[in-house]
């Protein structure tokens, strides 16, 4: 069985690319041949050619078609690799031509498309409806009326239908994986084709050498990271010992903090070099999905900031579901309440300096930061997205004409 990687940026963050490569590394370790196929004359999607931690693979301009079956890995297949369809928003994805060529070469019955959906975004239509209003700036006192209006006007139902359509849930050979920290049965009831799993881990591990007790690293990708940077520096300046702050960012900041103990990384950093520095740091400030999961993997304390919108009374967190899931899992493990409060406040851009000082000094619950965060509510192999992908690949290699049946088996939740 041949594996094809279709990396692309879907949600705006580079983590979409890294996630596809993480799946490729798992499959390469399991012994499957990996290909990066792009049709002649077609440039790779933006940001794909970069200093990534690529698995061993062969780049090609034609489909080798040398095996009996194929497995593709794409972020949100319905957006990045689905073919052009009639109607509004029907343009094919960045990998549509290649996905179609692969399926034509091996046959639809011998091709499984694995779709890596957004981490921890397992919201039921009712919760998604509430979240779009909240993030859009609707005040709490007006939410109930807006939600009633959404149901009465049919908006919520149209959202439900559009989600199923544009995620391509109707395709029997597309396996949609929704990795998360806590399984939500309500989401599965609403979308039976969606398969919830534990995280797709990167393979990052803590270094054998002692951590650098004087350095923090911050993957500052949200635009609003600039607004809290002065408070982060102030909090470190008030710590009991000097701490060097390394900020990795790809945006131009209007006002760059001028502390002599802060280093800014603006150019692309080779993945291996960054991972070593990330793992060796005393604390990591992370965002989105991939850096959060890597912080969990290497162990030790971290802070999470995915951005904020608005100002003053209208300030609100951007896409807070990942932090919510993390806090819920940590609370179930009886983590210290002051630690949970600090994580929640920092993620909301509140008490930033105070939280940073407490973390640097290891005050209160920071002395008991959990060593391990495990997903809740899954059984093997669904507890680990990488393990499930390898299980599907092996099943397809053994039954190369049963792509749809294998996807149906995975959707059912039965052991593969």
340 shares a domain with 192? no
Using DSSP's 3-state secondary structure scheme, residue 103 falls into: helix
Q: What is the pLDDT of residues 45-83, one digit of tens each?
A: 999 998 899 999 999 999 987 899 999 999 999 999 999
Q: For residue 160, is it within any domain?
A: no
- Mean pLDDT (whole number) for 223-238: 94
Residue 327: which CATH number? 3.40.50
337 shares a domain with 242? yes
Integer Cα distance of 316 and 137 in angstroms: 8
Q: For residue 23, is it within any domain?
A: yes
Judged by average pLDDT, the poorest of 127-141, 173-187, 247-261, 344-358 is 247-261
Integer Cα distance of 104 and 101 in angstroms: 5
Residues 6 or more apart whose Cβ sits within 8 Å of residue 283 = 216, 300, 301, 302, 303, 359, 360
Q: What are phi and psi of 4, to 5 degrees?
A: -120, 130
Sheet holding 70-75, edge to edge: 58-60, 34-37, 2-5, 70-75, 111-116, 174-179, 194-197
Judged by average pLDDT, the poorest of 86-90, 121-125, 245-249 is 86-90
Q: How many domains does the chain have?
A: 2
* H/E segment holding residue 58: strand 58-60
355 shares a domain with 219? yes
- Mean pLDDT (whole number) for 223-233: 94
Q: What is the pLDDT of residues 399-414, one digit of tens each?
A: 999 999 999 999 999 8
Q: For residue 29, is it within any domain?
A: yes
Q: Which domain holds residue 181?
A: 2-117+167-199+379-412
Mean pLDDT of all residues belonging to the chain = 93
Q: For residue 331, is it within any domain?
A: yes
Q: Is residue 171 scored above 70 in pLDDT?
A: yes
Q: Is residue 372 scored above 90 in pLDDT?
A: no
Judged by average pLDDT, the poorest of 8-12, 234-238, 345-349 is 8-12
Q: For residue 150, is it within any domain?
A: no
Q: Is residue 210 scored above 60 in pLDDT?
A: no
Written as six digits, the tokens of 20 are 């596809």
pTM to 2 decimal places: 0.94
351 shares a domain with 218? yes
């Amino acid at each position: 069985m041949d594996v094809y990687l279709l990396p692309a940026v879907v949600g705006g963050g580079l983590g979409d690319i890294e996630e596809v490569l993480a799946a490729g590394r798992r499959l390469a370790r399991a012994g499957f041949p990996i290909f990066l196929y792009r049709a002649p004359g077609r440039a790779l999607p933006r940001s794909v050619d970069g200093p990534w931690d690529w698995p061993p693979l062969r780049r090609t301009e034609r489909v080798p078609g040398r095996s009996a079956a194929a497995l593709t890995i794409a972020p949100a297949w319905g957006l990045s690799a689905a073919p052009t369809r009639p109607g509004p928003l029907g343009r094919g994805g960045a990998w549509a031509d290649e996905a179609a060529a692969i399926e034509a070469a091996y046959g639809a019955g011998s091709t499984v498309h694995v779709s890596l959906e957004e981490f921890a975004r397992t919201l039921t239509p009712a919760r998604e409806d509430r979240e779009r209003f909240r993030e859009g700036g609707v005040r709490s006192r007006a939410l109930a009326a807006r939600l009633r209006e959404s149901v009465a006007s049919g908006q919520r139902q149209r959202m439900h239908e559009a989600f199923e359509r544009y995620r391509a849930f109707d395709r029997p050979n597309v396996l949609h994986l929704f990795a998360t920290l806590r399984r939500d049965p309500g989401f599965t009831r609403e979308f039976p084709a969606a398969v919830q799993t534990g995280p797709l881990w990167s393979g990052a591990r803590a270094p054998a050498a002692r951590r650098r007790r004087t350095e923090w690293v911050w993957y500052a990708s949200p635009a609003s990271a600039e607004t809290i940077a002065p408070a982060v520096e102030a909090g470190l300046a008030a710590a009991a010992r000097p701490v060097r702050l390394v900020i990795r960012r790809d945006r131009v900041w209007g006002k760059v903090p001028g502390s002599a103990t802060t280093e800014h990384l603006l150019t692309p950093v080779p993945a291996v070099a960054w991972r070593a520095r990330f793992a060796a740091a005393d604390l990591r400030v992370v965002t989105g999905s991939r850096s959060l999961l890597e912080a969990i993997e290497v162990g030790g304390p971290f802070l999470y900031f995915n951005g904020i919108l608005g100002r003053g009374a209208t300030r609100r967190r951007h896409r807070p579901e990942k932090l919510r899931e993390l806090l819920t899992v940590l609370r179930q493990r009886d983590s210290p309440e002051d630690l949970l409060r600090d994580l929640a406040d920092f993620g909301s851009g509140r008490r930033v300096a105070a939280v940073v000082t407490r973390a640097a000094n290891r005050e209160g619950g920071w002395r008991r930061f959990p060593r391990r965060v495990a997903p809740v509510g899954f059984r093997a192999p669904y507890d680990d997205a990488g393990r499930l992908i390898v299980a599907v690949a092996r099943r397809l290699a053994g039954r190369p004409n049963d792509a749809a049946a294998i996807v149906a088996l995975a959707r059912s939740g039965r052991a593969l």
